[in-house]
Amino acid sequence: MKIITSSEKNFCDEAVDCFIKAKKAVALTGAGVSVESGIDDFRSPGGLWSRYPPEEYGSIAVFRRNPEKSWKLFRALGRGLLGKKPNHAHLVLSDLERKGFLRGVITQNIDNLHQESGSENVLEIHGNHRYLQCLNCGDTSKPAASLLEDNSLPRCRWCGHILKPDVVLFGEDVRCYEEINDLLHHCDLLMVIGTSAQVYPAAALPEQVKLSGGMIYEFNIVKTALTNVQGNGSAHSDYFFQGGAASMLRHFRKRLEALTGQ
Ligand code: APR
């Protein structure tokens, strides 16, 4: 595993050169890619889970038993997303897709910022906060503008059931897993950006690519389970871009342009 910082040039050009030669590069993102848009991640110090422990607020069992409690978390999440815009990390990824270097983005995030930055092939494994979901009749609907202000529980327009955001809670099945596996079929380079790689099945995707012979480019401010030595003594990440996702992806993009002219 080679560590790249914004001042490190040799390994970076080596990594960019492999990226150019990749046949099918895909990105997997987590909350860290949106931190520079002003959205707290979950597990860094002061992150959302330090205020709303997931086992107490974030599971489907809690929502069924005590929806008022779940809606405290949902409103905190929603308020944290208000007015947030894509940052350079999102913009670099959409540019790489437009230029044909990247096939798409698998994101664990629900903030819609990849789409707002222009990424087209975005697979949201944990859903999207822009809609509400009725678990009783299956209807999805746009939330009322007043949703975050008032304290009432939103109810389904058809069956009256209490609604939840159209996001995956702990204990629920993830979304678009078939499309994700199709996108990762023959993927020979996975950029893993801003994730602690602790939540499955998303956290298993880098190992899936690695085991089929692909390379892992990890972008994070700290080392994760992917970067540190695994049980068999080898890290999953081939290159570890150490720094904020926005600045490291801009650095990566600049070197790519220098080496390709694109
Ligand atoms: N640049 C790059 N990485 C960053 C930055 C940054 N500016 N800021 C934070 N990070 C890194 C953190 O070091 C951490 O490794 O982003 C990662 C965020 O990890 P988590 O908070 O665990 O978020 P994530 O990995 O997306 O969590 C996965 O868990 O709680 C569930 O559904 C939730 O989708 C979420 C899933």
pLDDT in tens, 1-17: 888 988 877 889 999 99
Atom of ligand 1 nearest to the CA of 110: 34
Please report the beta strands in 96-153, taking only residues with DSSP state E, as ranges in sequence order: 105-107, 122-124, 127-133, 140-141
Task: Give the pLDDT confidence score for residue 175 in this predicted structure.
Answer: 97
Output the residue whose Cα is nearest ligand 1's atom 30.
Answer: 42
Closest CA to 242 of 230, 252, 255: 252
Q: What is the pLDDT of residues 208-245, one digit of tens each?
A: 999 999 999 999 999 998 997 665 656 789 999 999 99
Atom of ligand 1 nearest to the CA of 219: 2
Task: Give the pLDDT confidence score for residue 200 in this predicted structure.
Answer: 94
Ligand 1 pocket mutation, candidates 44, 112, 191, criterion most atoms within 8 A of CB: 44
CB contact at 8 A, 246 and 36: yes
Distance 53 CA to ligand 1 centre (A): 15
Over range 181-190, report the average pLDDT.
Answer: 98
Task: Give the pLDDT confidence score for residue 1 in this predicted structure.
Answer: 84
Report strand pairing: 25-29 vs 189-193: parallel
Amino acid at 218: E
**End-to-end CA distance of the chain, in Å?**
27
Three-state DSSP class for residue 108: coil
Distance 38 CA to ligand 1 centre (A): 13
Distance 19 CA to ligand 1 centre (A): 23
Pull the structure tokens for residue 121: 């092939």
Over range 111-137, report the average pLDDT.
Answer: 98
What sections of 66-224 are H helices per DSSP? 67-81, 88-98, 113-116, 177-184, 205-211
Pull the structure tokens for residue 8: 């490190």
- Residues annotated as catalytic (active site), given as ranges: 126
Closest CA to 258 of 94, 37, 20: 20
- Does the pTM surpass 0.75? The reply is yes
Pull the structure tokens for residue 40: 């707290």
Output the residue whose Cα is nearest ligand 1's atom 25.
Answer: 195
Domain boundaries of the chain, sorted by first residue: 1-39+86-126+174-262, 41-83+129-167
Q: What is the pLDDT of residues 127-144, one digit of tens each?
A: 999 999 999 999 999 999
22 phi/psi in degrees, rounded to 5: -60, 145
Percent of the chain with pLDDT over 70: 98
CB contact at 8 A, 240 and 227: yes
- Asked if residue 186 has pLDDT above 80, the reply is yes
CB contact at 8 A, 86 and 107: no
Tell me what the pLDDT averaged over the chain comes to. Answer: 94
Q: Regarding the domain delimited by 1-39+86-126+174-262, which CATH topology (the fold level of the hierarchy) does it fall under?
A: Rossmann fold (3.40.50)
Return the minimum-mean-pLDDT range out of 56-65, 185-194, 226-235.
226-235
Output the residue whose Cα is nearest ligand 1's atom 6.
Answer: 244
Distance 109 CA to ligand 1 centre (A): 9
What span, in angstroms and rounded, lies between the C-alpha atoms of 188 and 210? 8
Q: Which residues are near ligand 1 (CB < 6 Å)?
A: 30-32, 35-36, 41-44, 47, 54, 108, 126, 194-196, 198-199, 219-222, 224, 244-245
Of residues 232 and 153, the one with the higher pLDDT is 153
Distance, CA of 173 to chain centre: 17
Task: Give the pLDDT confidence score for residue 231 in this predicted structure.
Answer: 59
> Angle CA(12)–CA(13)–CA(14) in degrees, nearest 5?
90
Distance 160 CA to ligand 1 centre (A): 35
Atom of ligand 1 nearest to the CA of 125: 34
What span, in angstroms and rounded, lies between the C-alpha atoms of 169 and 176? 15
Ligand 1 pocket mutation, candidates 51, 73, 166, 220, criterion most atoms within 8 A of CB: 220
Q: Which CATH superfamily is domain 41-83+129-167 in?
A: SIR2/SIRT2 'Small Domain' (3.30.1600.10)
Three-state DSSP class for residue 100: coil
Over range 106-114, report the average pLDDT.
Answer: 98
**Residue 27: strand pairing partners:** 105, 191
Report strand pairing: 164-167 vs 127-133: antiparallel
Task: Give the pLDDT confidence score for residue 232 in this predicted structure.
Answer: 61
Task: Give the pLDDT confidence score for residue 8 in this predicted structure.
Answer: 78
